[in-house]
Amino acid sequence: MTEPDLPRIRLRPNKNAQPLRFGAPWAFTDTLVLDRRSRAVPAGSIVVLEDAERNALGQGAFNAGSRIGFRMLDPDLSARIDDAWIAARIARAAALREALFDAPFYRLVHAEADGLPGVVIDRFGAVCVIQPNAAWAERMLPGFVAALLALPGVTTVHKNAAGRARGLEGLDDVSGPLAGQIDGVIDVPMNGAVYRADILGGQKTGLFFDQRPNHAFAARLGRGRRVLDVFSHVGGFALAALAGGATSALAVDASAPALALAEEGAARSGVSDRFATRRGDAFDTMAALEAEGESFGLVVCDPPAFAPAKPALDAGLRAYERVARLASRLVEPGGFLVLCSCSHAADLAAFRGASLRGVGKAGRSAQILHTGEAGPDHPVHPFLAESAYLKALFLRLDG
């Protein structure tokens, strides 16, 4: 039986309920009946969603002020969405990661794909960083904190409120500690290297775990070669390549703090003698390196999302094409080029097309060796294409 005091929200008569019955994670606000009663339901409240014939589809979170009006939490109407329910979901997510990784450094919760829509949690040993990007998660934040502290080895929980997603939900951008205290930058071991994660002042949660398998694949290609890592952040591809036997690596990024962390990571990894950084705009720096006559056995470009949403798609694809064109000119004959995209709006076919156009315009021919994606700590929701956002093209260039 459903809790009697749960509000009920209905789909509009002309909206198909089948996707939600088969596992779709949400319903957009414009598919819902929004009247005075439903608009009065506080953002983040747990409701029952019904089809137009008043058949219940499941329980979820409601926010009339968001583009995503309903987020499915549990199709079981007898379930209680409370702290115990949250703890069970987090425990299930933790069990999967423990089976996948030897050390507790990973994405612990990947939003919809882990049954916690709008919630991202990254784990850095004893520290968990949570991004509650939906109103329901913000309302139930104490339950999340308790569940995380119940995990073996977790002593600290930090809230990261940066990013546009919270603004779309009507939430603030105030980050801060929720439990325990973070003492400085954290060492993160991955792929034989040590990275420096700045939880308090870095990008997103402090480090990007999603590229871990792509770092490893690129490191194999970089053995015995000079490596150029463009949009390097804290040295993701460069440090893995050096750990894997690259002769040298140059990290390029516009952020001085990120490059400083990359240098610290190189020191902790014991590869400082083969590592260098260059601060500057990525496009300008690649053009300058070409003018200087530089070439590399492996060039990696891992830019920010140029097409985070559909309105930016055309401009984003042009930017990816430009990246590929400039980077291709820096790859020595028979060398390797890795091009990445984390843009939700640009699917693999569109990104690959733009990248190969750029390679062609640089006068290079290519073999596609491998197409990478996010690691298994970023599972894909089968009904949510956006959860498969990361793409990495591994190319061998001739000519």
> Per residue in 259-316, pLDDT tens?
999 999 999 999 999 999 999 999 999 999 999 999 999 999 999 999 988 999 999 9
Residue 34 confidence (pLDDT) above 80: yes
Q: Which pLDDT score, from 0 to 100, does residue 321 have?
A: 98
Mean pLDDT of the chain: 96
Question: Is the distance from CB of 40 to CB of 57 less than 8 angstroms?
Answer: no
Query: Which residues does residue 177 pair with via DSSP β-bridges, in sequence order?
Result: 158
Report the pLDDT value the prediction gives residue 1, as an integer from 0 to 100. 42
* CA neighbor of 338 nearest in space, from 314, 370, 376: 370
User: pLDDT tens digits for 206-252?
Assistant: 899 999 999 999 999 999 999 999 999 999 999 999 999 999 999 99
Which pLDDT score, from 0 to 100, does residue 95 have?
98
Strands (E), 153-304: 156-159, 176-179, 186-190, 193-197, 226-230, 248-253, 275-279, 296-301
% of the chain at pLDDT higher than 90: 94
pLDDT tens-digit series, residues 345-381? 999 999 999 999 999 999 999 999 999 999 999 999 9
Check if the beta carbon of residue 330 is closer than 8 Å to that of residue 363. no
**Mean pLDDT value across residues 36-42:** 96
Comparing CA positions, the residue from 368, 383, 325, 336 lying closest to residue 117 is 383
Please say if 301 is a catalytic residue.
no
Mean pLDDT of 25-46: 96
Reply yes or no on whether the pLDDT at 2 is more than 50: no
> How far is it, in rounded angstroms, from Cα 220 to Cα 22?
41
Contact 109, 121 (CB under 8 A): yes
Percent above pLDDT 70 for the chain:
99
Instruction: State yes or no: pLDDT of 4 exceeds 80.
Output: no
Contact yes or no for 300/250 (Cβ under 8 A): no
Asked if 339 and 375 touch (Cβ cutoff 8 Å), the reply is no
List, in sequence order, every beta strand (DSSP E) within 112-236: 119-124, 127-132, 156-159, 176-179, 186-190, 193-197, 226-230
pLDDT of residue 27: 97
How confident is the model at residue 201, as a pLDDT?
Answer: 86
Using only C-alpha atoms, the chain has a radius of gyration, in whole angstroms, of: 23
Q: What is the pLDDT of residues 309-348, one digit of tens each?
A: 899 999 999 999 999 999 999 999 999 999 999 998 999 9
The DSSP element (H or E) to which 355 belongs, if any, is helix 348-361
- Cβ atoms of 50 and 57 closer than 8 Å: yes
| Residue tagged active-site, from 128, 301, 340, 342 | 342
State pTM to two decimals: 0.94
In 3D space, the residue among 201, 142, 138, 143 whose CA is nearest the CA of residue 168 turns out to be 138
- Whole-Å CA distances, 231 to 239, 254, 280, 384: 13, 8, 10, 28
The amino acid occupying position 58 is G
Which has the closest alpha carbon to 297: 326, 356, 337, 353?
A: 337
For the segment 119-139, the average pLDDT, to the nearest whole number, is: 97
* Comparison of pLDDT for 48 and 204, the residue scoring more: 48
pLDDT of residue 387: 87
Listed in sequence order, the residues at least 6 apart from 272 whose beta carbon sits closer than 8 Å to its beta carbon are 263, 266
Domains along the sequence of the chain with CATH: 8-74 (2.30.130.10), 83-179 (3.30.750.80), 186-398 (3.40.50.150)
Structure tokens, 289: 């390196």
Distance CA 315, CA 82 (A): 43
When pLDDT is cut at 50, 70 and 90, the band that residue 163 belongs to is confident
